A and B are shown apart, each in its own frame.
Chain A
Amino acid sequence: MKERLRRFVVRVGAMSAKEVLHIQRDPRTLYLALVMPVVLLLLFGYGVSFDLDRMPLAVADADRTRASRELVNAFVEPGEFALARELATPEEAGALFRRGKALAALVVPRDYERDLSRGDRVELQLLVDGADPVSANQVLSKADAIVRAVSQARAAAAGFVGQPPLQVDIWTRYNPEGRSAVFFVPGLAAYLMAIGAVLLTALTVAGEWERGSMEQLFASPVGRLEIILGKLLPYLALGMLQLLLVLGVGTTAFDVPVRGSPVLIFVLGLLFLVSMLGQGLLISVVTKNQLVATQAGALSSLIPSLLLSGMVFPIENMPLPLRMLSRVIPARYLVHGLRGTLLKGNGLAEVWTDLAALAVIGLLVLALATRRFKRRLA
C-alpha cells in the first residue's frame, strides 16, 4: 500500500514537474496568467470607472440674477458638473447632446429670483441626454441632491424653523463612496481566474491528444487520476497566484478592504478554481483538439463569467431563465462570496452556501470529465 502510494506520488509529481517546465518554456502562458490581470485591473481601476465627475453641463439662464448664478455655482463648484456652454435658448441643447459636448442642460426660467424671494413655487428644467442610462442616472441623482440642498439652504436663510415634514436619510453601507473599484475587484478576480483556468487546462490536455503523447501516456502505468491531478495542480497554483495578485493590487492601489477571513477567501478561490479547471478538462477531453478547445473554453468561461456572474449586471434584474442559468455558473458564487468576505466581513455562516455550491459544481464537473476521460483508445 505504501509502495503504491509512493508510486502514485512519483507519477503525479512527474506530470506536474513536466507541466511546470512547459509553462516555463512558454512565457506567453505566464504573461497571460499574471501580467494580463494587473493590466486589466489598472485599466478598469483608472480608465473604466462607473463614477462620473465633471459631467459637462450646459446652462440656459434666462434670469441672470445673483440667485440664478448661485444656483449654477452650486452645480459646478463641487466638481460634480462642469460648465460646458452658456445657451441663449434651451433649444440649443439638442445640438450639444448630439455632438457629445454636454450630458445635461439646466434651464433657469426668467423671474427665478423674484419668484423665489416671494416664496412662490419655482420650476427648474433639466434636459438630460438619455442615450447612456448609466450616465443619465448619475446626472439625475446628483442634480436632485444639489437642488434639494439649495432649497433647504434658502429655507433656513428665510427663517423657516424646524424640520421639513418629510426627510429621507440615505445611508449607504459597505461602499459608502460608491467607488467602482470596490465593486468590480471581486468580479474581475472571478473573470480572470475563469479564463485562465479553463483556457490553460483545455489547451494543455488537448495538446497531449494532438501531439499523440496521450497515447504514449495511456500505454504507461500512469493512471487517469494521476494524469488529471498532475495536469491540474500547477494550474491550480497559478490560479491562486492570480487571485493573490488581483487582491494585492486591489487593496494597495484601490483601497479595496479585506474585512473577512483570508482563509475563507483562499478556500473560495480554491473551490472556484477546481470547478473551472474541471470545466477546462471536460472541454479538452471532449474536443481533443486545441483550436476547438480554445474556442469552447473562451466561450464557456468568458461570457458567462462576465454577464451571468453578477459582476456587471445584477442577477436580481435578470429574466427568470437567465437567473436559473446563472445558478450553474461558478463565477456567480465566487463574486457573491468574495463581495461578502471582502466588503462586509462575512464569515462561514454567510458564505457556506457559496462554498457548498462551488464544491458541488466542481465535484460534478470533475467526475464527468474523469468519466469521459477513457484511458483506452476506443
Chain B
Amino acid sequence: MTDGPSIEAVGLTRRFGDFTAVDRVFFEVSRGEIFGYLGANGAGKSTTIRMLTGLLTPTSGEARVAGYDVATSPESVKASIGYMSQKFSLYLDLPVWENLLFFGGAYGLWGDALKVRAGEILELTGLVDFRGATTGSLPGGIRQRLALGCAILHRPGVVFLDEPTAGVDPVARRRFWKLIRELSAAGTTVFVTTHYLDEAEYCRRIGLMADGRLVALDTPAALKRAWVPDRVLVARGRNLLVAAAALAARPGVAAAEPFGAGLHVRVSPDRWDAASVRAALGAAGASDVQVEEAEPSLEDVFLAVVGRPQTAPVEAGP
C-alpha cells in the first residue's frame, strides 16, 4: 500500500430502493492527505463513509481503501482503517483508560504492547490527567479526543471521521484539528466530513456533495476561484442598510447583504471596484463609508454550488 492512492472511489453508487443516496462518485485521496467531505444533511456523506469502511456494500461502482477492495475484502479494509462514527460511540460507564484498552483489544492488541500504546495515545491526545475518569462525566471536546484516540490505537493508515466536531465548542474544535494535522503530517490519510465550513479550510482538498452527487472537488483556494468569480468586498459605515438595497439593484452587483456590523458585497470585477462601491453607497445615503477587498469564504462557495442547477457529476482526480 506504499504506492497508489489511499482511497479510490470509481463510480461509487448506493441506492436504497428508489432513492439514490450516493450517485456515481469518483475521487482519489493520496497518502497523508486531509480530505474534507462537505454537504448538507442527507447529501450522502455518511453513506459514502459507510461504503468506504466496509459497513455498506456499494450498489455499483467500486472503491479501494488502503489497497483493498471494499466489496470483496471488507475485513482487510476494517483491519487497516480507523473509524470514528457520528455520535462517537464510547462506553460512557467505563473510564477513559478502559475504553482505550477495549478498542485496542478489538483490533487485536494485547498485553504490554497494548498498555504501552494506550499510554502513548493518552500523551498524544492530552488525556493523561483523565486516565481514570468515567467517560460519561467528561465534556464533549475531551470525549471527542478520546474517540479519535480509540480510532488510531492500532496505527491505521487511513482514518475516517464522520462529523467529528458536531456539538463541540470552538476551542475544543481547534485543538482537535491540531491533532488531525499532526496525524496527517505523520503520514496518516484523513477522510473527514463536516458541517463547519471554517474547518474545511484546514483540508488540503474538499469534495462537495449535493443530493448524492460529488459536484465540486478541489483545493479550497481553487474552489473559491472557480465558484466565486465575483469580487468580494466588505463595507463599513453608517446608514448602510438603506444604501444596500439601492446598491443591490445596480447592474453587476450579485449581492449586498448585512454581515456582522457591515455589509458583504459581491460584485462583478469588470464593472466594480472598492472605490466605485464606496461612491455608490455614499450616493445612496450612507456616510463614513470604508470598503475593503475580502477573500471569498467557503460559505460563498457552498452557496454558489448548492444554489446552482444540477449538472452531470464531476469526475476528478487529485
A residues touching B (Cβ–Cβ < 8 Å)?
Answer: 7, 10-11, 13-15, 17-18, 21-22, 25-26, 211-222, 376-378
Interface residue B132 (Cβ < 8 Å from any Cβ of A): no
Q: Mark B98-116, 1 if CB is under 8 A from A, else 0.
A: 1001111111111000000
Interface residue B94 (Cβ < 8 Å from any Cβ of A): yes
Which 10 residue pairs of A and B lie closest in terms of their CB atoms, listed nearest first? A14-B105, A213-B89, A219-B83, A212-B89, A7-B108, A18-B102, A221-B79, A216-B89, A25-B93, A10-B110
Contacting residue for A18 out of B57, B83, B91, CB 8 A: B91
A376 touching B57 by the CB < 8 A rule?
A: yes
Excluding A22-B93, A219-B53, A221-B108, 9 further A-B contacts by CB distance (< 8 Å) are A10-B105, A18-B98, A25-B93, A215-B55, A219-B81, A220-B103, A220-B107, A221-B78, A222-B106
Q: Which residues of B contact A22 (CB under 8 A)?
A: 91, 93-94
Which residues between 107 and 165 of chain B lie within 8 Å of chain A, taking CB atoms?
Answer: 107-110
Q: Which residues of A contact B86 (CB under 8 A)?
A: 212
Give the residue name and chain of the B residue nearest to A219 (CB): B83
Q: Which residues of B contact A10 (CB under 8 A)?
A: 105, 108-110
Contacting residue for A11 out of B56, B89, B94, B106, CB 8 A: B106
B residues touching A (Cβ–Cβ < 8 Å)?
Answer: 16, 50, 53-57, 75, 78-79, 81, 83, 85-87, 89-94, 98, 101-110
A218 touching B98 by the CB < 8 A rule?
A: no
Q: Which residues of B contact A221 (CB under 8 A)?
A: 75, 78-79, 106-108
A216 touching B85 by the CB < 8 A rule?
A: yes
Known: A18-B91, A25-B93. A218 touches B105 (CB 8 A): no
Say how far A254's CB is from chain B's closest CB, in angstroms.
Answer: 38
Residue of A14, A214, A218 with most chain B CB atoms under a 10 A cut-off: A14
Say how far A203's CB is from chain B's closest CB, in angstroms.
Answer: 13
Say how far B165's CB is from chain A's closest CB, in angstroms.
Answer: 17
Known: A11-B108, A21-B98. A378 touches B85 (CB 8 A): no
Say how far B138's CB is from chain A's closest CB, in angstroms.
Answer: 15
Say how far A29's CB is from chain B's closest CB, in angstroms.
Answer: 11
Complex Cα spacing A220 to B101, Å: 14
Complex Cα spacing A214 to B92, Å: 14
Contacting residue for B106 out of A211, A220, A378, CB 8 A: A220
Complex Cα spacing A18 to B135, Å: 14
A211 touching B50 by the CB < 8 A rule?
A: no
Say how far A222's CB is from chain B's closest CB, in angstroms.
Answer: 5
Give the residue name and chain of the A residue nearest to B160 (CB): A219
Say how far B55's CB is from chain A's closest CB, in angstroms.
Answer: 5
Contacting residue for A220 out of B16, B78, B90, B93, CB 8 A: B78
Q: Which residues of B contact A219 (CB under 8 A)?
A: 53-55, 78, 81, 83, 85
Q: Which residues of A contact B16 (CB under 8 A)?
A: 378
Q: Which residues of A contact B101 (CB under 8 A)?
A: 14, 17
B83 touching A216 by the CB < 8 A rule?
A: yes
Contacting residue for A215 out of B85, B103, B104, CB 8 A: B85
Q: Which residues of A contact B53 (CB under 8 A)?
A: 219
A26 touching B106 by the CB < 8 A rule?
A: no
Say how far B117's CB is from chain A's closest CB, in angstroms.
Answer: 14
Say how far A109's CB is from chain B's closest CB, in angstroms.
Answer: 74
Known: A14-B102, A21-B98, A377-B56. A213 touches B108 (CB 8 A): no
Q: Which residues of A contact B103 (CB under 8 A)?
A: 220
Give the residue name and chain of the A residue nearest to B104 (CB): A14
Contacting residue for B56 out of A13, A26, A376, CB 8 A: A376
Q: Which residues of A contact B90 (CB under 8 A)?
A: 213
Complex Cα spacing A14 to B111, Å: 11
Complex Cα spacing A13 to B102, Å: 9
Q: Which residues of A contact B104 (CB under 8 A)?
A: 14
Say how far B79's CB is from chain A's closest CB, in angstroms.
Answer: 5
Q: Which residues of A contact B109 (CB under 8 A)?
A: 10
A13 touching B110 by the CB < 8 A rule?
A: yes
Task: Name 17 A/B residue pairs within 8 A (Cβ), A-sorted.
Answer: A7-B108, A11-B108, A17-B101, A17-B102, A18-B91, A18-B94, A21-B94, A22-B93, A212-B85, A212-B87, A213-B89, A215-B89, A216-B85, A220-B103, A221-B79, A377-B50, A378-B16
